[in-house]
Each structure stands twice: as structure tokens, then as C-alpha cells.
Structure 1
Amino acid sequence: MSIAETHNLVAFLEKHEESSRFEKIIDFLNASYVQYALTVNPTIYTTCIEKFWASTKAKIINGERQIQALIDKKKVIITETSIRSDLKLDDAEGIDCLPTASIFAELERMGAKTTAWNEFSSTMASSIICLATNQTFNFSKYIFDNMVKHLEGGVKFLMYPRFVQVFLDKQVEGMTRHKEVYVTPSHTKKVFANMKRPGKGFSRRVTPLFPTMMIQASEDMGEDSAAPSDSHSTAIISQPSSSKP
């Protein structure tokens, strides 16, 4: 088993030269309820993550679904509620999945008119739409369900290492005795630089930020902050394109 570098990268939501013209997106994410989950960066002890997945079982206790594991002779119990608490996700009343008609309508508003967007599952598409339209998506349930699905499917890779370490830190003491540390890669600057560089998949389509995203960001900046003008509410985002340039 191994930890895939492309999974669970830490988001450093700071403004760099490379992120120019993306400041409003950064403001929006910093004001979002998912900000902590995006940026929390614990020291990941590889042996602990391996022990977790090696000993983990999904159970139903008193009608509640749980994930149980044994780390350093300490029983670890993870539930949807504990995930919500540990990742500071206030999403208990959040949406699990939007109706299919709503998904297609909202994706079209985002300019998603190519077949490449079909690679999104309805649940993942719902999460993106909910973030953009200032609705609450139940990420806690999504994470828990996928952890259970991972166990049932027997897929051998170390899923959610950053989140799992947060869960373990809350329940197990003495983590520092484990010496093997996984360094979480960060590609934030490179991502912004690449987003601005038109490539073969760039559709030349300009996607404006939704008004709901702008309102959330401006509220976080204070009551005295002026509302952003239309000329500053647009980011150039490379939309999937099935056609060649």
C-alpha cells in the first residue's frame, strides 16, 4: 500500500504573484466552511496510517455506523459526527446529492458544455455546485461513506492520509514516538500558474464567479468593504474542451 501524492494536497490559501486574478476565489475559499478541511496540515505518521487501514473494520453499533481501528493498543472510533467535529465542518443539515436536473442546469451555468464534465460523479458535481451557490454540502457524510466503501472494496491505497491523521491525533496520544513521517506535497503556486496558461484543453471560455461566491467573500472582509465591481468579478478558468485548438 502507498500514499498517492495526488490525493489530499494541502491548500495554502494565500495570495502570491502566481495567484493574481484569482484573489476572489481565494477570498471565497477562506470564508467557506470547508476552509479548515482544505488547509489543516498535521504531521502524517506513515506507520500510524498503515496500522489504521490494516486494522480497520466497519460496524453498526446501536444503529450507528462506525469505523473502528486499533492504533498503539488504543481503539479508534470514527463516525460521520466525529468527522464533522474534527474537520470543523458545520454540515449536519447539508445536501447529500442534488437532483439530476439541477446538476445539469447548474453545470451549464458554469459553462460545462463538454463531455469531459461527465467524468464527475453526481455527488462530486453536487459538492462543486453547492460551494459555488452558497449551499451546504454534507462533506462529512461523503468522507465517511467513501471510507466505508474503501474498506468494502478492498482497494489497497492509503485513503485520506491527512484527514485520518487529524482523526488519530484527536484520539491517540504519543504520536511523536512514530518516526516515519510523510511529507505532504503542495503545488498551490504551480496550480495557479498552470491555470492561467492556455493549453490544448483550454476552451477560451470565461467563467464569472457566481454572485453568491462574491457575497460570501465580501462579508468576510468586513462591513466597510466595498462590493466588488463586475470588472473584478471574473476569473479565467480553463474549462474542459473536447475539441482541438
Structure 2
Amino acid sequence: MDLKFIATHNQAGYLAPPPEKHRRMYTSLMKGLNSCRIVHALRENPIIYESLSQDFWKNAKIEVVEGKGVIVSEVQKKTVTVSEQMIREVLQFDDQESDSIDVPAGTVDAVLPRLSYEGRYPPLVKKFVHPYWRLLLHMFLLCISENRGGTDQLNSTQTAALVCVITNEPFNYSKYVLEAMKRNVLGVRKDKYLMYPRFLQIIFNARYPELTRSGNTLELKPMGPTCFGALTPKKGTEKKFEGLIPLEKFGQFSETENIVVDPVVAQPIQDNVGIANAIVAEEHTIQRGVEDEPETEFVTINSEDEGI
């Protein structure tokens, strides 16, 4: 039986200039995204071959190699290994093996008010953050996190990762991704699924070019510009952001007077089948939650009148 593909998990992020009506507010956020340490992992948008991801996850197991836990699998009858260092090099996270994924609670607590956060923590609930920062949270959840469905809140580790994106403090994003992949191998939280199909294809392209790329491809559309028009809570939401704490743009995403002119889009990917150009999705739809995550609130976004 084929493993499940989640079309809203591990998308490529939106890195082009904001639409005109949102340009004054969000230009500094987009400039920060284009220069932060997760930009390569956000931008790359290869053709994703379903058979490669299916083979990898169906045959994946955890082994210890040179004292370190890695994921070893068989793809097209060839051994494929994914390690923390490989993730670091291929996704270009600019982190170090010595960096932790645990950030002191005081560090996180000091940053949350600067996001105009009006809720209780943990978790970090997206709808209680200022819309400026809400877009960053939303992009991290859909593009970088391991979440297969939930897009309304960040757990403690995800919050620490996000805080370190903003402040440019050390954080081991490579380990974060690998540990999430290990949990998928073990089925710790739920049945195994096609986790990180975009990241895996980037790794296959960089380290395993001999694999045959053919057959069905997975439709994983990059985020589109409608995400800017969907940053206010839906009408009728009982509890929502009230703007009690003034907006502060800081860290990697400080205010800038420079307006982004040229869009930054995912580059064409060359493989032995052909060239594919990234197409920015004009609609951004979040699927309803799966049955095993009843605590998570999901919405569907189809226009600029509805909120994330």
C-alpha cells in the first residue's frame, strides 16, 4: 500500500515581493526571509518523483553509523543514507553539529511579547500573533515543520526554531529535520507518511543523481501571493488577535526602507527527464485536519477575505 501524500506539507515558500496593497507592511519581512538561514530550504522547488519518496519511506530504518544515528533505506535497490550532516550541507541551514534544538525558556519568553503575542504559551498559537509575524509562523509550519496537518500552532521546539530564525541565534535545524524523520520511521505519533517529499528530492538530486527519475510526480504547489490577503482572523472567530501590543519589527525582519523590486522565485531544476519551472500557486488551500489530530483547528483559504 502506498504511503499518504499530504499536499500542504513541505511546500516551497513565497519569497517574491508582496502584492502592492501589502507592500508597505511586509517588504521587510520578505527581505528578511530572503537573507535568513532557512531561505534555501524555503526556495528550492524540484520536480518530486513519487516512486523515490515511496521507496525511501517504505524501506527506511534507523542505524548507527560512526556513532551517529542516520536513516538508511533502499531506493530502486540502491542504498540511500540520510544523515544530519547531509541535511546540513544540502539544505544549507548554516548551523553546526554542536548547536542545540533546545533553547532556554527565558529566551523564548523574552521574544514572544515582541511578536505582539496575546495568548498563553506553550503552545504558540498563530491567531494570537500580529499579522506581520503570523505570515512567518505560517510559512515555517507549512514549509519547514514536520506537521502533516496542523497549521494553527507551534510546539516548544518549533517555537524555539522560529525565534532563532528571527534573532539569528544558533539552532540546529538539520538535527530538527532529521529527528522528525526518525519519528516518522518509528511511527511515534501516527502512521508513517511521505514526510518531507521536497527535502528528500533535493537530497536525491544532490547526492544520488544515479537514481532514475520517471513515473508519477507529486503536485506540491509553492505558496502563492494570496497568503498576504489571509492574515486576519476569519469573521466570527470567538477569540482573535486584538492588537493590544504595538507591532515591533526586529532581528532579521527589522523595518527597511528598501522595497523589493525583482521577485525571487524557485529556480528551474534540471534532471535527466527535463526542466521544470516553479509556478506560483494562485490559490492556497489548507486541507481539513486528519482524524488523529482532533485538537487542531483548520480553515480553508480561497480568497483574500478569509484568514489563516
Same fold at TM > 0.5:
yes
Deviations 1:84-121 (A, max 9, x none): 00101110153412112322232133222313752532
Distance 2:172 2:164 in 1: 10
| 1:204 pairs with 2:242 | yes
Aligned match of 1:98:
103
Q: Tell me, which stretches of 5 or more residues in structure 1 are unaligned?
A: 222-245
Correspondences of 1:113-124 after superposition (within 5 Å): 113-115=118-120, 118=123, 119-124=153-158
Query: Structure 1 residues 211, 11: CA separation in 2 closer, same or farther (over 3 Å shift)?
Result: closer
Q: TM-score, normalised by structure 2?
A: 0.65
Higher Cα radius of gyration: 1
Deviations 1:169-218 (A, max 9, x none): 22333555422011212333121111157743541324321145328x78
Preserved contact between residue 116 and residue 247 of structure 2 (Cα < 8 Å): yes
SS of 1:185 mapped into structure 2? coil
Preserved contact between residue 60 and residue 71 of structure 2 (Cα < 8 Å): yes
Kindly, what percent of the aligned residue pairs are identical? 25
CA RMSD of aligned residues (A): 2.5
Aligned match of 1:161:
197
Query: Structure 1 residues 164, 28: CA separation in 2 closer, same or farther (over 3 Å shift)?
Result: same
- Give the helix-richer structure, 1 or 2: 1
Correspondences of 1:137-176 after superposition (within 5 Å): 137-153=171-187, 155-175=191-211
Deviations 1:132-171 (A, max 9, x none): 1121321100000111111112622110010011112223
Preserved contact between residue 45 and residue 181 of structure 1 (Cα < 8 Å): yes
Q: TM-score, normalised by structure 1?
A: 0.80
Aligned match of 1:14:
16
Distance 2:234 2:59 in 1: 46
Distance 1:173 1:141 in 2: 24
Preserved contact between residue 45 and residue 222 of structure 2 (Cα < 8 Å): no
| 1:46 pairs with 2:82 | no
Q: Tell me, which stretches of 5 or more residues in structure 2 are unaligned?
A: 124-152, 261-308
Aligned residue pair count: 219
Preserved contact between residue 74 and residue 172 of structure 1 (Cα < 8 Å): no
Aligned match of 2:230:
194
Query: Structure 1 residues 28, 73: CA separation in 2 closer, same or farther (over 3 Å shift)?
Result: same
Query: Structure 1 residues 197, 104: CA separation in 2 closer, same or farther (over 3 Å shift)?
Result: closer
Give the Å deviation of 1:67. 0.7
Aligned match of 2:274:
none
